[in-house]
Amino acid sequence: MTEAAVAAAGSRDPGALRTGLRSLSRTFPSVGGHLAVLDGLRGIALLLVVFSHASLLGIDMIPGVDMSGTGKVGVWLFFVLSSFLLMHQFLHLDAADRLDGRAWWRYAVRRLLRIYPLYTLFLLVCWLAPLKTAVTGADVLSHLAAVEGRWHLWSIAVEVKYYLLLPLLVLVYIYIARRSLALATLLTAAGIGVREWLAPAFDNDALWTYIAIFLAGSWVAIAHHYLAHRTRSRGQALRYVAAVAASALFLLLMLMTPSIWARLQEAAIARDHWHRSFTLFAVLWGAFLLGILQSPLWLQNVFAWMPLRVLGVISFSAYLWHPLVLVNMGRLRFVDGGFAQAFVAFVALVLVSVISYVVIERPFLKIGRALGARKAAPHGADAALR
């Protein structure tokens, strides 16, 4: 197509690309309105994971910046977002007096349809396709049972175990949250403190290893629920304070990239320097999330930039497929390292992930929504989410 033809097409429908991106970025929230900024934060979490693993393979997605070591930090942001969203959903169901047996049934069905169709396909591809993997049939079964999680799949095993624990956490938190945010805060601090005091042996597949991160996300949901009904009367001052705090925390989290932190400290720092700093990053990511949720709309819009939102929507697909795309990039003989290789790898990952989302994820998400269709949450619940 010539430049003139492109220009003509653009003049006829200047919003075609944006409309397409918005269509892709539509998800199926469990309850109430949908926070666009959360999709954007998922996109950031995905970039941290992909950029880290790419750097480990010698592919620097950001020229001159070694992002290795940030993969787990990105996964921890995924954990905080997941625990926040699920607890947020149940808080609103409880407020609307809809937290009944049917709500728990919908939760179970939706979680199964959210994870297992694509996860099963991915494992089968790793097992049967002629790719650079070493997966057996026994590995497929152990991963589906969340008994283990090799490579980047350890996070799926942890997440599934969290889904099983969540009903108990919801019942305890809701009982406390009905009474006091301070009590919910003490409960969260006590849970994290017990984990630190017991200091269990590190187990990459164990929920207990990362429980502080999930508790932090759950607490943010309670705090956001509490503050949503109180910040309006206090004007914009509190929102600007939250914006400054969130911006400072995000900058700090990015500067803690091992290669950048090493330059700031003028000392050698291992790429796994932060890999067991669970409580530290639970606090940092949790505080950042709460701050961004209380910030003015203009700052939320920065993190809700449309490309980030699209990456957030396809993040589960991209998370699963990205190692196969990166590891097998060597088969593309015409790619000769440097930025060209990084660009081709990233574009290939996005294309694979979009197809995976549209063909596999989205149909099952629609099924889950249809099975759980009920009357929408009250307007107050919608407002609390925006």
Q: Please state the domain extents for the chain.
A: 33-49+65-385
Q: How far apart are CA 156 and CA 115, in angstroms?
A: 8
**Span 164-178, mean pLDDT?**
87
Q: What is the pTM of this model?
A: 0.86
Q: Are the C-beta atoms of residues 53 and 323 closer than 8 Å to each other?
A: yes
**Span 16-20, mean pLDDT?**
54
Q: Are the C-beta atoms of residues 176 and 206 closer than 8 Å to each other?
A: no
Q: E strand or H helix at 255, and its extent?
A: helix 237-255
Tokens of 152: 């980047």
In this prediction, residue 148 carries a pLDDT of 81
In this prediction, residue 358 carries a pLDDT of 93
Residue with tokens 């994820």: 361
For the segment 27-78, what is each residue's pLDDT rounded down to a tens digit? 433 333 347 899 999 999 999 999 999 998 888 888 888 999 999 999 999 9
Q: Are the C-beta atoms of residues 250 and 288 closer than 8 Å to each other?
A: yes
In this prediction, residue 83 carries a pLDDT of 95
